[in-house]
Amino acid sequence: MSTPTETDAESRARDILGVSRLTNPALSSWLQGLPGVDQVGCEARAASLGTRSVKTTSKEWAIDTAIGMIDLTTLEGADTPGRVSGLCTKALSPDPTDLSTPRPAAVCVYGDMVPVARQTLGDGSGVKVAAVATAFPSGRASLAVKLADTADAVSAGADEIDMVIDRGAFLSGDYRTVFEQIVEVKRVCGGARLKVILETGELVTYDNVRRASYLAMLAGGDFVKTSTGKVQPAATLPVTLVMLEAVRDWRELTGVQVGVKPAGGIRTSKDAITFLVTVNEIAGEDWLDPFWFRFGASSLLNDLLLQRQRMRTGAYSGADYVADDSPSLY
């Protein structure tokens, strides 16, 4: 039975762990008891999936699907209202010469740019506004600051929040702090979906990636996301494979489906299609939907548009066919 101050997330977590109190030792024991990741096997499986060939009809579907899964992103200190507005305009009409081109799933910006994105996208476009929060990208701030950061973005109109975990707390084994922060941010999100950024490049091992994924899901995250895009390596295929295994197994364990978002360094159509093949093979067809899988990217859209036009017209366009206004890290 829950205590008067216990959250629903904590009560659910106690039930899943089979403990009477959700202590740091209990979380540590459960997370450390997860099956280890075979590094050699994981990387070999990812390499094998990267060699799969995709035939023309399937490639057309994959390109359109990938476009519809993009969180079109600009996260630079030099972002201006004009730049964000331009990115949103591009999301509304990715290829003005072909109005059948799908729109990206969302535009992802800093919280102070949410009103600009909201105004430009308008209502009914189908393109969500995502905002990074919780002292992105470092996550080095008090919980009060992180919650205020999130609340500001939500009140400004963000449909989705991309938060960063406290990697220092996680790596020092303070899983309870990470859990509580995700729970509190999720509470402040209200109806906005929460993507939990693990910053896998700083977690070092695949075992840590698996544990962080489970911890994020245990705390109620709607998505697990690889990276901020500010740390290398970012969205590698083996890391994404581990996260896809985690969400697949989590649904089998709890009946709850959680999304996955690789972000940073995915720039080509070939890369995107390889990720989609991996989604299908590891998690399954249910995740081949923008509600459950996203790419954090901007330059990726340009390459997908060029490939799409080549398949439609039989010829590549020049380099100036699409505007290349994307940040270098994405």
Question: What pLDDT is stored for residue 2 in this prediction?
Answer: 43
Residue 40 has pLDDT above 90, yes or no: yes
Residue 86 lies in a domain: yes
Over residues 239-292, the pLDDT tens digits come to: 999 999 999 999 999 999 999 999 999 999 999 999 999 999 999 999 999 999
Residue 326 lies in a domain: no
Three-state DSSP class for residue 225 = strand
CATH label of the domain that carries residue 135? 3.20.20.70
Over residues 58-107, the pLDDT tens digits come to: 999 999 999 999 999 999 999 999 999 999 999 999 999 999 999 999 99
d(CA 113, CA 115): 6
Question: Domain tally for the chain?
Answer: 1
The boundaries of the domain holding residue 287 are 8-312
Question: What pLDDT is stored for residue 313 in this prediction?
Answer: 80
The answer to whether 228 and 265 have CB atoms below 8 angstroms apart is no
Helices (H), the chain: 8-17, 24-32, 39-49, 56-68, 81-92, 114-121, 143-155, 167-171, 175-189, 206-218, 237-254, 269-278, 299-313
Task: Write out the catalytic residue numbers.
Answer: 162, 225, 261
Residue 325 lies in a domain: no
Residue 42 lies in a domain: yes
Residue 327 lies in a domain: no
Residue 322 lies in a domain: no
Q: Quick one: pLDDT band at residue 177, thresholds 50, 70, 90?
A: very high
Over residues 52-70, the pLDDT tens digits come to: 888 878 999 999 999 999 9
* Amino acid at residue number 155: S
